[in-house]
Structure 1
């Protein structure tokens, strides 16, 4: 399946975990004292923004393919309108 890493204009699904390129994936720590991890979503594998994602981790800078579990959440950020879109 082709990756759609630049597909910012795809509509988000109505329910469940979804993201857009530039959002942040936050994964809770598994044990007491473990702060967890976070990283920037740099590519999507599905047009609707559902997992898996390519994530650049903030602690290592590495990019990995991630299938988020129930301990993960997506922090959404405002995204600029697509090129050529007229302002409302």
Structure 2
């Protein structure tokens, strides 16, 4: 799994009724885009994540700006 600053990290809910948790990668701490990542989630919480199999990276398209 590789990411760059500005990509979205999506942690899918693990049980029925649990919503996905979406955040923006604000810093890549690993080498060459590898984890861990510093992520700022929609609720303002910021933390360091090493994504597991229930996580996907949504890559930012060239020239795209996140709100």
TM-score class normalised by the smaller sequence: 0.7 to 0.9
Mark the runs of 5 or more structure 1 residues left unpaired by the alignment.
Answer: 1-16, 81-88
Moved over 4 A (4+): none
Q: Which one scores higher on RCO, CA 8 angstroms, separation ≥ 6?
A: 2
Other-structure match for 2:31:
47
Question: Alpha carbon RMSD of aligned pairs, Å?
Answer: 1.1
How many equivalent pairs are there?
63
TM-score after normalising by structure 1: 0.67
TM-score after normalising by structure 2: 0.86
Give the number of the structure whose residues are more often strand, by fraction.
Answer: 2
Mark the runs of 5 or more structure 2 residues left unpaired by the alignment.
Answer: none
Give the number of the structure whose residues are more often helix, by fraction.
Answer: 2
SS at match of 1:48: helix
